[in-house]
Amino acid sequence: MWDEAFPSFLIGLREGLEAGLIVSILVATLVRFDQKGRLPQVWTGVAAAVALSLSFGAVLTFTAANLSGHAQEAFGGVLSLIAVGFVTAMVFWMRRSARTLSAEIKEKVQASLAMGAGALVLTSFLAVAREGLETSLFLWTNVRTAGESTGPLIGAAVGLVLSAGLCWGLYRRALKMNLTRFFTITGAGLIVIAAGVLGYGLRDLQESGLVGGGTSYAFDLSGHLDASSWYATLVQGTLNLTVTMTVLQVVGYVAYLCIVMTVFVEGVRGGKAAPAAPAAAAEAKEARTEEVRTEEASEKPAEPARSGRPRWVLPAALVAVPAVVAGAVIAASDGKKDSSSTVAVSEEECGKGFTTPLPGQQVFQMHNTGDKVSEVYLVNPASGAVYGEIEGLAPGTTRALTATVGSGDYAWRCVPTGGKSVTSAAVHVTGGTEVKAVKPVAEDDLKGPLDSYKDYVNKGLATLMTQTQKLQADVHAGDLATAKADWLTAHVQYASLGAAYGTFADLDGKINGRADGLADKTQDKDFSGFLRLEYGLWHDQSAADLTPVADELAQNVAKLAHDFPGQDFDPRDLPLRAHEILENTLQFELTGDTDMGSGTNLATTQANLAGTQELLTVLQPLLDERDPQVLTRVNAGMKRVGDLVAAAHKPEGWASLDKLPTDTRRQLNGATGQLLEDLAPIPALLEIRKAA
């Protein structure tokens, strides 16, 4: 955990000091001008900037959590590259601005005082918000890289607290600090860390499929080094260098480090070599009279740097020295720990090198000696239950598989792409506790539930077709009051078929598409279906205007009912939908995002719950075999959310979201969020595995 804290500590310390210095200068300037009564305006801007930064971090986390696996990799990779760009720009900006920061802020404060309270609030907000947003993005990237949040968050918190203490000391004249030197040293450190973030981001993009070369490795030391050892963990946590890196990662890391560090070092030399201009000297003198005081203002011009050393020496040293130190540590520690064994994977050698492991958590280095990409499973040979797995192990590569070993029988099952499954000889482990394994699911296991669900959808579409034809007739007759009631009946029927949306293809967008992504929103010519009809019915559009909308809706529903029996429905999608239906409910229905005027989001939520319940019913036999407690928790959560929704249905109709008491709405969102947590294990439990 602590090795993951250093990069976040450094960014928290540096960004916190930047923001703190700006605030200190703002406060000192107001105090000096006898404007203490304006200080609340500064703190208002600062508080707004902090709130914006926290919200930005929450948005990033929520967005990533609601994406598919490949989309998460792409999202994280792109944001890693953006974070590297921000940090690089910040390092160079502060290197240039450290000497003149006080004078620049003072000028802005004087201008703001002349313009009024709003200008001063805006000045403090903009000054702090930039640092806050950069910190949020870089910290989010570090948390994603580390795979856990405790270390990075503690590191950032310590850095921010320390920076606040330094700023207070500077403000009270309790200490002196050469800011130019401080920002130079921390800037060099951040450039090294940013190079690692760049490499990690490039790997994310490769794993997402947006960038190629994911199996072209520059080196693979996993057969010689233990990825979980203290030294490997330390290097990975601080520098983002791993035991296995692709060619693109290495090229990106080295190129960024050499180019950016060279430019940075040359800029530092140039700054030191330049004699101080009279204006700069006067600026420094004035800065000494302010509350914020730094030692650099009284610095004498540095002697010109010697030019005998080539520019590439320092960047090359930053690359070479860690490699030499790591090699020395590896040699001293004799490479991998004894607890990590290398096991061969291929059609001929599956499990070669596997000996009876000790009870407890074990790390197995799986090395593909064959010529095909392979799936690898640690299984109970009798039941086929899976204790651990690696997907897509490329030929000639090694990856670590971490599994907890208890009492029982263990074997390796290798499934090469296009080849037959091969199972190694079994070993028997004694002395450990019982370890729970996942019984694998084969595609045939999902055939029965899939057929049952498709039958449910076919019947539901037949009912929907009748309902939309009735709705169409209402609009043609000009009976818009009846059309409103029939619209709700048909819409909730469609909402109850949520698990099949993935097979509806383009028809789903035509039947129930939102206006958000369209150029002209609700006025766009491509806005159609239930939500378009809802908008017209509840915004007093005429029957003549709505007739083409109702006709198109009825035609698309009829086409869907005709096409669905012949469409492909991937069995692997079925367990995923158990979670995704209510994800969409929380994101769109319970936020009111899809309300076009009827105020019936809670009716749609109830229909989504019904669709989820139908899906859980057909999956229940498979879930009961693997983890009966999952459905116990889910059923309790379904009832809790269902009761909260049903309470909003009054004799006169559904209560709209904005009419719900704040506590009730908070309870509903919280209960739905908890239900999503309870549903989350289902896709993993029912994932189709080749070990079956």
Q: Tally the domains of the chain.
A: 3
Asked if pLDDT for residue 612 goes beyond 90, the answer is yes
Residue 534 maps to a domain: yes
Q: 11-49, pLDDT tens digit by residue? A: 667 667 667 766 776 677 677 666 677 678 777 877 887
Q: What's the number of CA atoms in the CB half-sphere (13 Å) around residue 643? A: 7
Residue 508 maps to a domain: yes
Q: What's the number of CA atoms in the CB half-sphere (13 Å) around residue 445? A: 20
Mean pLDDT of all residues in 659-675: 92
Radius of gyration over every alpha carbon of the chain, rounded to an integer in angstroms: 31
Other beta carbons less than 10 A from residue 430's beta carbon: 9
Residues 6+ apart with CB under 8 A from 479: none
Distance between CA atoms of residues 17 and 165, nearest Å: 9
Q: Do residues 47 and 64 both lie within one domain?
A: yes
Q: 483-523, pLDDT tens digit by residue? A: 999 999 999 999 998 766 667 778 888 999 889 878 899 99
Mean pLDDT of all residues in 543-550: 96
* Span of 62-66, 154-158, 191-195, 484-488 with lowest mean pLDDT: 62-66
| Residues comprising the chain, all counted | 692
Distance between CA atoms of residues 55 and 133, nearest Å: 10
Q: Do residues 452 and 423 both lie within one domain?
A: no
Tell me what pLDDT residue 223 has: 55
Tell me what pLDDT residue 62 has: 62
Q: Do residues 428 and 533 both lie within one domain?
A: no
Among the listed residues 371, 563, 591, 544, the one whose alpha carbon sits nearest the alpha carbon of residue 454: 563
Which tokens go with 350? Answer: 């599956």
Alpha-helical runs (H) found in 502-648: 506-512, 529-537, 543-563, 573-584, 601-626, 628-646
Which tokens go with 201? Answer: 């981001």
**CATH number for the domain harbouring residue 425:** 2.60.40.420
Mean pLDDT of all residues in 66-74: 59
Q: Do residues 512 and 599 both lie within one domain?
A: yes
> 409 is in which domain, residue-wise?
340-437
| In the chain, % of residues over pLDDT 70 | 67
Strand, helix or coil at 389? Answer: strand
Q: Do residues 464 and 415 both lie within one domain?
A: no
Distance between CA atoms of residues 275 and 429, nearest Å: 74
Which tokens go with 430? Answer: 């004694």
Q: Do residues 53 and 186 both lie within one domain?
A: yes
Which tokens go with 183? Answer: 């920002």
> Taking all residues of the chain, what is their mean pLDDT, rounded to a whole number?
78
Per-position DSSP letters for 3-61, written without gaps between them: GGHHHHHHHHHHHHHHHHHHHHHHHHHHHHTT-GGGHHHHHHHHHHHHHHHHHHHHHHH
pLDDT range class, residue 291, cuts 50, 70, 90:
very low
pLDDT range class, residue 467, cuts 50, 70, 90:
very high
Asked if pLDDT for residue 278 goes beyond 60, the answer is no
Distance between CA atoms of residues 366 and 389, nearest Å: 10
Q: Do residues 381 and 251 both lie within one domain?
A: no
CA dihedral 47, 49, 55, 57 (to 10 degrees): -120
Cα-to-chain-centroid distance, residue 416 = 31
Residue with tokens 């950016």: 260
Comparison of pLDDT for 568 and 642, the residue scoring more = 642
Which tokens go with 423? Answer: 């199972």
Q: Do residues 155 and 257 both lie within one domain?
A: yes
Helix/strand number for the chain, H first, E second: 21, 12
